[in-house]
Amino acid sequence: MTRVRYALTGVLAALAGMAVGHLVAGLFRPAASPVLTIGSTVIDLTPTPVKQWAIEQFGTADKVILQTSVIVGTVALAALAGILTQRNRFLGIWLLTGLVALAGIAALARPSADALDTLPALAALAAGIPTLIWLSQLAATASRDPDPEDRSSGPGGSASRRGFLLGSVGVAVGSVAVAAIGQVRAGARAITNVVLPKPSSPAGPLPTGLEGTVKGISEIQTPTKSFYRVDTNLTVPQVDVDSWSLTIDGMVDKELNLTFADLTAMPLIERDITLTCVSNEVGGGYVGAARWLGVRLDDLLDRAGVKPGPDQILSTAVDGFTISTPLAVARDGRDAMVAIGMNGASLSDVHGFPARLLVPGLYGFVGATKWLTRLTLTTYGERQAYWTQRKWATDAPTKTSARIDTPAPLARIAAGPTAIGGVAWAQHRGVAEVEVSIDGGDWRPVTLGPDVGIDYWRQWYLPWEATPGVHRLAVRALDRTGVLQTSDRATPFPDGSSGIQEIAVTVE
């Protein structure tokens, strides 16, 4: 019992520390909260195969799983600190201080860190240590008193145990309340209402998609709220657009430093572009299609004047995260842009407010830097981006892929007339044809949805008279350069998954 009390003392002290740290972070630096900084550091240090495995196993839940493991690990160490306190108070204090120091170091290790980022860790220490001392004193008094079963003890014995219990409950409740206030403060940012100018080169009206006729097919334009999100960030950077700027430097004639107003004063293009994540599995959901508004990358680079020599554009996000893009690809005439708008609104925080890079035809990890703040003209020999350091491909064009949206894998559907439908993409080559094979039979051409250009996905469907039994449905696409989607299976690492999606459905 005594040991449990001391363990609880450690856990509650850590809880109080994390809660106060979270509150102080919420007031000054949401991303510097101890739980989050340790989590982000763990992400950065995790070997690529493990990270890959986590994304595959848990999908977007990988962040929740990671945070939970960080918390469980912290609780275990905190319990140990509490138990040590029983033997020697200073052992417990030292272990707790070590834990907080780790959080502080993790906060400072972030590339954008400054002295203010250590405040949450200092606050955690200031709350955690006194809590540990106080609760361990209560625990000591409670444990010194005789056991309640021992009838010879007076009523005072249970009073000291009640004291420990009340103290513990008080710390727990107080911590949860304080952490909740921190959470609310961190989220309470007024989204800046940026007014976006009209594009000088608008996209035409978006054709009506098949979603009205084929039930269950992806909408022709992915609504922003359901657009997939992939990044290494545990907290979404919240950029203040008034102090934000875009620097273009490196091997250029003239280094540029542009404010958001400078950017919006330049000619804007509006384009329909489909973005895919290299981590997308065949048939997966890390793909979305949107209408983007932005400044052509060519215009920006011409303004800075690119010197001879560079072969990559190294882009940097506000948190120091880097992405590298092959310069030749970005400058071959495609609509690569610094995007400031998505589906008729400014970028949302999760999709990179206030500006992101977008290079049609490339996977996001080599061309779609969110929260962009710097473009550096350099060489692959000279500088390496985040994923390059982790051995992912540097030139990664999106692979041609077709996906079945309806019926869902393993669905049970009624016999009779129905439709097989989905989307296919082959960015910057365009989708020429989509074919479906039922139960391993001949590849049959399907009906394609409207053509929104070679950088955009294409909806497709095939009317199907479903007969009772289990059926296998497969789909593949042909791009407009005449190349068929490969049936060779590949994992996402290092340059994107490939293979043909095949699903089974039961018709009743």
Positions in the binding site for Mo ion (CB under 5 A):
230, 277-278, 364-365
CB 200 to ligand MTE: min, Å? 25
Identify what 171 binds: Mo ion, ligand MTE, none; CB under 5 to 8 Å per kind.
none
Q: CB-wise, 128 or 496, nearer to ligand MTE?
A: 496
Task: Choose from Mo ion, ligand MTE, none: what does 292 bind? Cβ within 5-8 Å by kind.
Answer: none
- Dihedral (Cα; 355, 360, 363, 367), 10-degree rounding: -40
Contact at 8 Å (CB) between 278 and 270?
A: no
We find the least distance from the C-beta atom of residue 226 to ligand MTE, in angstroms, to be 11
Residue 269 interacts with, from Mo ion, ligand MTE, none (CB under 5-8 Å by kind): none
Q: Which is nearer to ligand MTE, 330 or 474 (CB)?
A: 330
Residue 231 partner contact from ligand MTE, Mo ion, none using kind-dependent CB cut-offs of 5 to 8 Å: ligand MTE
How long a stretch of residues is the chain? 508
The three-state DSSP-derived secondary structure of 51-117 is HHHHHHHHHHHHHHHHHHHHHHHHHHHHHHHHHHHHHCHHHHHHHHHHHHHHHHHHHHHCCCCCHHH
DSSP 47: -
Minimum CB distance to ligand MTE smaller for 321 or for 464 = 321
Number of Cβ atoms within 10 Å of the Cβ of 426: 27
Least distance to Mo ion, CB of residue 228, Å: 9
- Closest CB to ligand MTE among 40 and 74? 40
Residue nearest to ligand MTE (CB): 364
Which option in ligand MTE, Mo ion, none does residue 369 bind, with CB closer than 5 to 8 A by kind? Answer: ligand MTE
CB nearer Mo ion, residue 227 or residue 365: 365
Partner that binds at residue 341, options Mo ion, ligand MTE, none, CB closer than 5 to 8 Å by kind = none
- Cβ closer to Mo ion: 11 or 277? 277
Could you tell me if 160 and 141 are in contact, meaning their C-beta atoms sit under 8 angstroms apart? yes
Instruction: Provide, rounded to whole angstroms, the least separation between the CB of residue 368 and ligand MTE.
Output: 4
* C-beta closer to ligand MTE: residue 275 or 475: 275
Residue 431 has, within 13 A of its CA and on its CB side, a CA count of 31
| Other residues' Cβ atoms within 10 Å of the Cβ of residue 255 | 11
Q: Using CB under 6 A as the criterion, which residues of the chain lie in contact with ligand MTE when the complex forms?
A: 227-232, 275, 277, 317, 321, 351, 364-365, 368-371
> Whose Cβ is closer to Mo ion: residue 26's or residue 367's?
367
| 258 phi and psi angles, rounded to 5 deg | -110, 135
Q: Are 105 and 42 in contact (CB under 8 A)?
A: no
We find the least distance from the C-beta atom of residue 98 to Mo ion, in angstroms, to be 36
What is the 3 state secondary structure string of 428-467?
CCCEEEEEEEECCCCCEECEECCCCCCCCCEEEEEEEEEC
Closer to Mo ion by Cβ: residue 95 or 339:
339
Residue nearer to Mo ion on the CB measure, 385 or 419: 385
Using a 10 angstrom Cβ sphere, with 0-12 exposed, 13-18 middle and 19 or more buried, the burial of residue 57 is exposed
Determine the Cα–Cα distance for residues 261 and 258; give it in Å rounded to an integer: 8
Of residues 344, 106, 141, 101, the one with CA closest to residue 234: 106
Cis amide bond preceding 463, omega within 30: no
Residue 159, number of CB atoms within 10 A of its CB: 12
Give me the least distance between CB of 39 and ligand MTE, in Å please: 14
Return the one option of Mo ion, ligand MTE, none that residue 227 interacts with (CB less than 5 to 8 A, by type): ligand MTE
Pick what 461 binds: ligand MTE, Mo ion, none; C-beta below 5 to 8 Å, kind-dependent. none
Which of 76, 93, 166, 156 has its CA nearest to residue 128? 93
Q: Which residue is nearest to Mo ion (CB)?
A: 277
Residue 252: φ, ψ to 5°? -125, 160
Min separation Cβ 40 and ligand MTE, Å = 11
* Choice between 227 and 260, CB closer to ligand MTE: 227
The nearest distance, CB 261 to ligand MTE, in angstroms, is 22
Rounded least distance, CB 110 to ligand MTE, Å = 13
- Nearest-5° Cα angle at 198, 193 to 204: 125
Q: Which is nearer to ligand MTE, 164 or 228 (CB)?
A: 228
SS3 content of the chain, % helix, strand, coil (to 5): 40, 25, 35
Closest by CA to 194, choosing from 340, 297, 317, is 340
Q: In what order do the strands lie in the sheet with 431-438?
A: 412-413, 501-507, 469-479, 431-438, 444-445
Residue 371's binding partner, choosing from Mo ion, ligand MTE, none, with beta-carbon cut-off 5 to 8 A by kind?
ligand MTE
Q: Residue 352 CB, nearest distance to Mo ion (Å)? A: 13
**Interaction partner, residue 426 (Mo ion, ligand MTE, none; CB < 5-8 Å by kind):** none
Work out how close the CB of 367 gets to Mo ion at its nearest, in angstroms, rounded to a whole number.
Answer: 10
Binding partner at 140 among Mo ion, ligand MTE, none, C-beta below 5 to 8 Å by kind: none
Report the partner that residue 403 touches, choosing among ligand MTE, Mo ion, none (CB closer than 5 to 8 A by kind): none
Q: How far is the CB of 321 from ligand MTE (least distance, A)?
A: 4
